[in-house]
Chains A and B, each alone.
Chain A
Amino acid sequence: MAPLLELRNITKQFPGVLADDRVSLTVEAGQIHALLGENGAGKSTLMHILYGLSRADAGEILLEGQPLQLHSPADAIAHGIGMIHQDFMLIPRFSVVENVVIGLQKDGPQLDLRSAALRLSDLARQYGLVVDPEARVEHLSVGVQQRVEILKLLYRHARLLILDEPTGVLTPQETEGLFAVLRRLAAQGHAVLLITHKLHEVIAVADQVTVLRDGRVIGSLPVRQSSARQLARMMVGREVTLRVDKPAQQAGPPLLQITDLQVRGDNGQPKVRGVTLTVHGGEILGLAGVDGNGQSELAEALMGLRPVEAGQVTLAKKDLTRHSPAARRASHLGYIPADRRQVGSIGPLSIAYNAVLGTLRRYTTWGGLFLNPGHIDRHARHLVNEFDVRTPSIHFEAGKLSGGNLQKVVLGRELLARPTALVVEQPTRGLDVGATEYVHRQLLAERSRGAALLLISAELEEILALSDRIAVLYQGKIMGVLTAGAQESNSQIELLGLMMAGSPLASLSNLHTPGRSDGPHG
């Protein structure tokens, strides 16, 4: 029997880039197939072609052996190909069943929500996707919204489900739940195509993995016959160390102290609701939590980019709560923002000018009246060399750098200012394995130097690999602080997951060996 889906020699050329170069891929019914690759490897382009969003320059798509011409996502859905994007396409104010039937061809003039809800409940039971059809989507957690997206596709008789980086917004428990659903889908004869750059997910759930690099298929093999190490090598093209070496280190004095901090979000809602944290010199305090629980607001308030409603921020005993961003920089507080393109750098300006953002006044002559281009260039060249920024020139537009290289510019600029404390927000989001490894090493070097680091990340793996202590933020409140490695790794992840879902550590401590920590560990 022909496989459910076969891609043959799909090629897509963009000006200057061959996004996909003769990519072939076979997905069998009942299979979870992972498409693994770094950013820019050609995964998204391939999926856009498969979902009818763009057209290949060459190659064919075969569905059960029949050639397929896809002109639009509606075409794809009609052929049983469904896709779940990273950002869900749901209408928050509609109920689950309304979201599911939206856009379907009606049988008659009357919208029959009742029978739709019945069918939805049947489907939900069949696949173990528990969800109340009458619930409003805005009241559902992210994990449940994702289930709604899956149900939407099943309701439309999708046989192949494409999931684009589905775990980015989920807690560990929600991820495990999703994987169970995917396994059940596969067991019932559906095919799942999982697009990801996370190795451990591939190992955890996929049957077959195809690795893409630079638009080409490096290999396709059963997951059982592969290892994380081998997949990483295929993905990056060289040996990578998956574990970072974190030398044991005595933490120093408390440097960054946050006391009962309260901050409002953009629409005036309280987003940080009484956060108290202390970061010591030579320590990385990881702040875990699902995106959108107040992390960005906290970081911005620390840097003075967002007004503080109440509470206090001190750096080395100096009260910075009401200081301007410039004064905070002068006091050696550094910040690597999550949005490196819109906040961390100024795209249309050169690397050299970006290298002096925040320290510009040091690079002037004539009593501060004029810039000193020679001095700026020397500083930029130093940064580019020291932090291995791959660029044709220091006068190259920063916005045209790849994510990894741009992050090196931002990182280098903040680190060369020798910060006493550094707030780091999502430092490796969207970076490839090589650049991630580099950023991690630099952050650990800063820790060795004695800086106090507050690492805000939605990637639990990252938090676990780097942190000395781990705090969890949920809806603007700290659920608790753990000493990294105080428990056996699996139970610690479980504990963190429960905290990320909103259970305070205090309510969990009777379930587990207490690993709470109020001070630095040795």
Chain B
Amino acid sequence: MAKSHWIERRLPPTDSPLATATVTLAAIVLALLLGGLLMLPFTPHPGQAYWAIVENAFGSLRGLGFTLVKATPLILIALGTIVAWRTSFFYLGFEGALLLGAAATVWVALRAAPQEGLAGLPGWIFFPLVIGAAFAAGGLWAGAVGFLRSRFGGNEVLVSLMTNYVAILLVNYLVSGPLRAPGDLPQTERIPETTLLPFFIPDTRAHAGFLLALLAALLVWLFLRRTPLGYELIATGFSERAARYGGIPTSQRLVLAAFLAGGLGALAGLVEVLGVQFRLMEGIAQGTGFVGVVVALLGKLNPLGSVVAAILYAGMGVGSEVLQRRAGLPSSVIFIVQSLIVLLILAGDLLRSYRFTWPFRAERLTATAGPRE
């Protein structure tokens, strides 16, 4: 009565590296194929278009510089996501944390202008100071959500999403009110030259913020893997009941995770201000706070994996911009491909819970299921 099932559900998903790699690779290939179909109206050779993207994003020093600049805030948001989500605190307020960090950064940097309080401060004091200020601003912003959740319960996803709007409007208020520079545009003064992050690849836009992001990734990795606090955050994330049983003050750890997540998100705002925009204005976040979460998921909530995912993701964006200018290929096509990759990789995880069985193989299995000792 051996009926052949082509696909069989298995309870524990296969989690071997091979299975994960196969599914991920298959998802990317499938996304590229589907995206290629969308490109056909614009170019007869989707393969060449893809290759052009890679070349534009990584083929030249200039392109690579752009890619790293775009990847930097994504890495920092992803790191914040990792800390929060691994503690099972599903924070989605990174857009707001980024804006708070940007505002705090600009405020401190403007104090370093000539005739201001912090004028003439050497870089080795200024940069730690501004990093600390931004981190604290974002940390307190997100930490408040963490406190609300651990003290009163409730859903941090909704609350943190709402805080994004508060932050956006807060920045709009700042740039059109207290911090507004003279002129037509609602924006602050340009921050002084001394406060800008130095470029670290000659003749490119790649600024030292990328190195800051790499350092942060290393520290987050070390923190989660090698410190008792990191262990306690992860334990809390896996099972709050078991963590409490193990004597871990889970409410405090949750607030800590929220603080760190917000702080890391704020650093994304810092690098945007000190490395790219040089001032605060409306629309500075542009969804980075959400894309960073996606990058963290693509990196399987692993700090180093997220660095790779962020660079690849940023590279696709940079490459497609060039393609749009040159070949007239709408960047929305590339955005669709990006989204498809994310969607298929995340959906592909479900596949690891299934096993394909070829009918003839199933019968052989039964036939050879002999005595076991």
Q: Write the residues of chain A forming the contact surface with B, with a CB cutoff of 8 angstroms.
A: 11, 13-15, 18, 21, 55-60, 69, 214, 216, 303, 305, 324-326, 328-329, 335, 337, 342-349, 353, 357-358, 360-361, 364, 368-371, 373, 400
Partner of B366, one of A13, A216, A326: A13
- Given the complex, which residues of B lie within 8 Å of A57, measured CB to CB? 1-2, 362, 365-366, 369
- A329→B247 contact, CB < 8 A: yes
> In the complex, which residue of chain B has the Cβ closest to the Cβ of A300?
B245
A13 touching B238, Cβ below 8 Å = no
Residues 116-159 of B contacting A (Cβ, < 8 Å): none
What are the interface flags for B221-243 relative to A under an 8 Å C-beta threshold, 1 for contact and 0 otherwise? 00000111001101100110111
Task: Give the interface of B toward A (CB within 8 A).
Answer: 1-3, 8, 10, 12, 226-228, 231-232, 234-235, 238-239, 241-249, 355, 362, 365-366, 369, 371-372
CB of B272, distance to nearest CB on chain A (Å): 32
How distant is the Cα of A53 from the Cα of B168 in the complex, in angstroms? 54
The answer to whether A342 touches B242 (Cβ under 8 A) is yes
Query: Contacting B372 at CB < 8 Å: which of A18, A343, A344?
Result: A18
Q: List 28 A-B contacts (CB under 8 A).
A: A14-B10, A21-B371, A57-B2, A57-B362, A58-B1, A58-B2, A324-B247, A335-B245, A342-B239, A342-B241, A342-B242, A343-B239, A343-B242, A345-B242, A346-B239, A346-B243, A347-B238, A347-B239, A353-B231, A357-B245, A358-B247, A360-B231, A361-B228, A368-B228, A371-B227, A371-B228, A371-B231, A400-B12
Within 8 Å by CB of A55, from B3, B232, B238, B372, lies: B3
Rounded to whole angstroms, the CA-CA distance of A400 and B13 in the bound complex is 12
Residues of A within 8 A of B365 (CB): 13, 57
Report the Cα distance A324→B246, complex, angstroms: 11
B238 touches A56 (CB 8 A): no
State how many angstroms separate the Cβ of B32 from the closest Cβ of chain A.
31
Q: Is the CB of A21 within 8 A of B242?
A: no
CA distance A11 to B237 in the complex (A): 40
Given A346-B242, A349-B234, CB of A371 within 8 Å of CB of B226 = yes
Q: Say how far B228's CB is from chain A's closest CB, in angstroms.
A: 5
Give 8 nearest A-B pairs by CB, closest first.
Answer: A326-B247, A357-B246, A358-B246, A325-B247, A57-B366, A346-B238, A346-B242, A329-B247
> Are A305 and B244 in contact (CB-based, < 8 A)?
yes
Known: A13-B365, A15-B355, A55-B1. A357 touches B249 (CB 8 A): no
B232-A360 in contact (CB<8A): yes
A11 interface neighbour in B238, B355, B369, Cβ under 8 Å:
B369
CB-contact partner of A343 in B235, B245, B247, under 8 A = B245
Q: Decide yes or no: A326 and B239 within 8 Å by CB, A55-B1, A360-B228, A369-B227 being known contacts.
A: no
Instruction: Find chain B residues with CB under 8 A from A18 CB.
Output: 369, 372
A325–B249 CA distance with the chains assembled, in angstroms: 8
Chain B residues with CB under 8 A of A373: 226
Min CB–CB distance B244 → chain A (angstroms): 6
Chain B residue numbers with a CB within 8 Å of A216 are 371
Residues of the B chain whose Cβ atoms lie less than 8 Å from the Cβ of A21: 369, 371-372
Q: A21-B371, A343-B241, A346-B235 are in contact. Are A326 and B248 (CB under 8 A)?
A: yes
Complex alpha-carbon distance, A371 and B228, angstroms? 6
Once the chains bind, are A325 and B244 in contact (CB under 8 Å)?
A: yes
Chain A residues with CB under 8 Å of B243's CB are 346
